[in-house]
Amino acid sequence: MRRFLANVLPPAAVVALALAAWEAVVRLRHIPEYLLPGPLRIAAALRDDWPLLYPSLLQTLAVTGEALLAAAVLGGGLAVLLIQAKWIERSLFPFAVILQVTPLVAIAPLLLIWVKDVRFALVLCAFLVAFFPVAANTTLGLQSADHHLLDLMRLYGASRWKVLRYIRLPSALPYFLGGLRISGGLALIGAVVAEFVAGTGGAASGLAYRILEAGYTLAIPRMFAALALLAGSGVLLYALLSGVSYLVLRRWHESAVRREASSASPAG
């Protein structure tokens, strides 16, 4: 409990201080709320506009989640395909890189024209930015398997499938999870960018549309409220993926193993 407090109290205090300073500056300098609302005003907007913001939040999160899931499955799948042969990697990897380096805002309009279903186009856009870290990291992980373990597999005549299942996939797991953590944030950004470009109205509108709309109507506190929701979602997503990573790896991987000052290990 004491350790928990020691871990949580200082950062919480710093955040509280920063918010208080913000509020103080806004009040003392009489900054109008259409330029910069204080945290209390933003909290009020969050409360008042909740019926409007909440469905948008769900919409954006759904797009993010679906894109991330697709990135995990297809990114991981592509990685497994890439390591099957050097020529496959050489011929397919450039496509992945090209997709990665092309700014999403530049291709999102095209995608929105090509794909009739706007919802699907949004997921596709978010997927395109989210999938590269998973694919690249997993490829690296699959290739980083201990070569002596691979020798051992050869010694006992293991099939390619067994090598993948027993050695390569577990070796790649920490890399995959690391990639997924990066992809989580990127999927959210991708979803927001795509929503901006799409600018769809009506029921199926996410937080980005709320921000656009608030900008047009100078409802700046609501804009900040939507921003706060986005930032909060990003942080939560990252924490969630880090938690999953910890749970999966805690028994064996260095990144997740808790260390004590002097680790006790049985003598040999």
Partner 1 sequence: MLPAPGPEPVVRLRQVTKRFAGGIEALAGLDLIVGPGELLALLGPSGCGKSTALRLMAGLAAPTTGSVERRLPDPHAVGFVFQEPTLMPWATVERNVALPLKLLGLPRPEIRRRVGERLERLGLGGFARAYPRQLSGGMRMRVSIARALAVRPRLLLLDEPFAALDEITRWRLNDELLDLWRSESLAIVFVTHSVYESAYLATRIAVLSARPGRIVGEIAVDAPVPRGPEYRGSEAYLRTCRAVSARLAEALGEGGGP
List contacts with partner 1 (CB under 8 A).
146, 148-149, 151-158, 162, 166-167, 170, 173, 251-254, 257, 265-268
Q: CB of 256: closest distance to partner 1 in angstroms?
A: 11
- Closer residue to partner 1 in complex, CB, 262/265: 265
Q: CB of 176: closest distance to partner 1 in angstroms?
A: 13
- Closer residue to partner 1 in complex, CB, 74/173: 173
- Closer residue to partner 1 in complex, CB, 22/166: 166
Q: CB of 145: closest distance to partner 1 in angstroms?
A: 10
Q: CB of 171: closest distance to partner 1 in angstroms?
A: 8
d(CA 16, CA 238): 21
Burial (CB < 10 A; 0-12, 13-18, 19+), residue 30, is: exposed
- Closer residue to partner 1 in complex, CB, 55/170: 170
d(CA 236, CA 186): 13
Which residues, in sequence order, are CB contacts of 175 under 8 Å at separation 6+? Answer: 137, 138, 140, 141, 144
Q: CB of 83: closest distance to partner 1 in angstroms?
A: 18
Q: CB of 215: closest distance to partner 1 in angstroms?
A: 49
d(CA 75, CA 179): 10
Nearest to 65 by CA among 245, 197, 241: 241
- Closer residue to partner 1 in complex, CB, 101/267: 267
- Closer residue to partner 1 in complex, CB, 27/162: 162
The crossing angle, in degrees rounded to 10, of helices 169-198 and 207-216 is: 30
Which residues, in sequence order, are CB contacts of 67 under 8 Å at separation 6+? Answer: 123, 124, 125, 126, 127, 130, 187, 190, 191
